[in-house]
Amino acid sequence: VAAIFSRSADTVFRQVVVGLVVGAGLFVVGWYYYALPSYTRVGYEPQQPVPFSHEQHVGQLGLDCTYCHTRVFDSPVAGVPPAQTCMNCHNKEKANVKGTSPYLQPVYASFKSGLPVEWKRVHKLPEYAYFNHAVHVNKGVSCAACHGPVNEMKVVRHDQLLTMGWCLKCHDNPTPHLRPVGEVTNLSWAPGAGRLREEIGAEVRKELQVKPPTHCQSCHR
């Protein structure tokens, strides 16, 4: 009987098997690198219509987060400021801080026309996830815990993963991420000399009864 398979068939078969295993492995590795939020989200740094620098306004000038994001302590959404807020300073008639800067043209135009400045959205949770800013900041979770060191960012960058697993890490053990409520918007806050974040966090946790929920309804409705 003539051989059905040639001598090389075994080799080809082995090569195919190895190739498939390697290919599948590459696919999985590639998937993990390219398809997960660590690649698709973290580092997202879109160019904004106005080159507003948080580094300058917060880091250097010391503006508090709530000067612009006014509703963060009582609303689910912190809010993006209206052009009106910018016009408190950048206004020819008022303080006239760079009152005619070409960079600020979209703000002037918005203030005049009533149409919004089209800011690019950086942080976005899936539609089925409901995050509440107010309850977090009122329980001693700093802005920096999710948004990173914004006071050092010239352009706002997506700093943290904001995936469910990432959220749950803190919800399982919030202690290291808590600080006194008064320091929540102080992005460069550090525990005093000789004290550990865990120590302070544990105190805050006890005092504010921090018991982060881990069941589905707290975020999915």
Partner 1 sequence: MTPREYWRSPDDQTGTPGAPPRDEFPGFANVFESLGEAEPADDDPHAAALSRRGFLTLSAAAGLAGLAGCRRPDLEILPFSAIPDEQVGHLAPGKPTFYATCLPRPGGALPVLVESHEGRPTKVEGNPAHPCSRGSTDAHAQASIYDLYSPDRVMSDRYPGVMERGLPRKWEDFDRFARHEADRLVKEKGKGFYVLAEDLGSPSVRLIRRHMKKAMPEAVWVTYEPCDTSEAQRGAEIAFGAKLAVRYRFDKADRILALDCDFLGHGPDAVANSRAFAAKRAANPMNRLYVVESTYSVTGTIADHRLKLASSQVGGFLVAVAKELTAHKDKLKHAGSLPGQLGSAAPAFVLPETWVKAVAKDLAEHAEKGLIVVGDRQPAWVHALAHALNDALGNTANVGFRDPPPEAAEEKAIGELARDMAAGKVNTLLVIGGNPVLNAPADLNFKAELQKVARKVRLGLYHDHTSEACDWHLPLAHPLESWGDAEAADGTLCCVQPLIAPLNGNRPIGTDPAAELAPPPRGGRSVLEVLTLMTQYALPEGATKANPATTSYVVAKGRAYELVRRAFAERSGIAVTDPNFATEFNRYKQLGFLPAEKDKSRKPKDPGEVKVNIDAVRKALAGQQPVPAPSKEAIEVGFYPSYSVLDGRFAMNPWMQEFPDPITKLVWDNAALVSPRTAAEFRVKTGDRVKLTVKGTVLDIPVFVLPGQADYTVALPFGQFGEMRISHVPDGGGFDVFPARKTDALHFATGCRLEPTGKSYDLVTTQEHGVIPEGRDIVREVNAGTVSRESKTSASHDGQGHGHGPVIGIPPDGHVTPGDLRKGFQGGYGNPPADRGPPEVKQRRFPLDLARPELLDSQFQWGMVIDLSACTGCSACVVACQAENNIPVVGKADVKRNREMHWIRIDRYFTGPAADDPQVVTQPLACVHCEQAPCEPVCPVNASVHSADGLNLQVYNRCIGTRYCSNNCPYKVRRFNWFDFNKRRPDELRVPTPFAREGMALQDTGVPETLKMQKNPDVTVRMRGVMEKCTYCVQRLERAKYGSKIAAAEVAQGRAVIETDAGFRPEGGSPSAYRKPKDPRAAGYDLDAQGRVIVPDGLVDVACAQACPTRAITFGNVLNPHSRVARLKQTEGEYLLLGELNTKPRTSYLPRVRNPNPELTG
Point out which residues bind partner 1 (CB under 8 A).
35, 40-41, 44, 46, 71, 73-77, 79-84, 110-111, 113-121, 124, 126-128, 130, 132, 134-135, 138-139, 181-182, 206-209, 213, 215-218, 220-221
Cβ–Cβ < 8 Å for 212, 180:
no
- Identify which of residues 80 and 168 has a Cβ nearer to partner 1 in the complex: 80
Nearest partner of 34 among 45, 22, 26, judged by Cα: 26
> Smallest distance from the beta carbon of 25 to partner 1, in angstroms?
18
The residue among 10 and 64 lying less far from partner 1, judged by its C-beta, is 64
* First vs last C-alpha separation in the chain: 69
35 or 97: CB nearest partner 1: 35
For residue 152, the minimal CB distance to partner 1 (Å) is: 22
Distance of alpha carbon 198 from alpha carbon 177, whole angstroms: 8
162 vs 187, beta carbon nearer partner 1: 162
Question: What is the nearest approach in angstroms of partner 1 to the Cβ of residue 202?
Answer: 12
Amino acid identity, position 162: L
DSSP string covering 139-208:
TTB-HHHHH--GGG-SS----S---HHHHHHHHH--GGGB--GGGTT-TT--PPTT--HHHHHHHHHHHT
Tokens of 11: 């080799």
Query: Closest approach of Cβ 13 to partner 1, in Å?
Result: 27
- Minimum CB distance to partner 1, residue 84 (Å): 4
Cβ proximity to partner 1: between 195 and 206 the closer is 206
The contacts of residue 55 (CB under 8 Å, 6+ apart) are: 151, 152, 153, 154
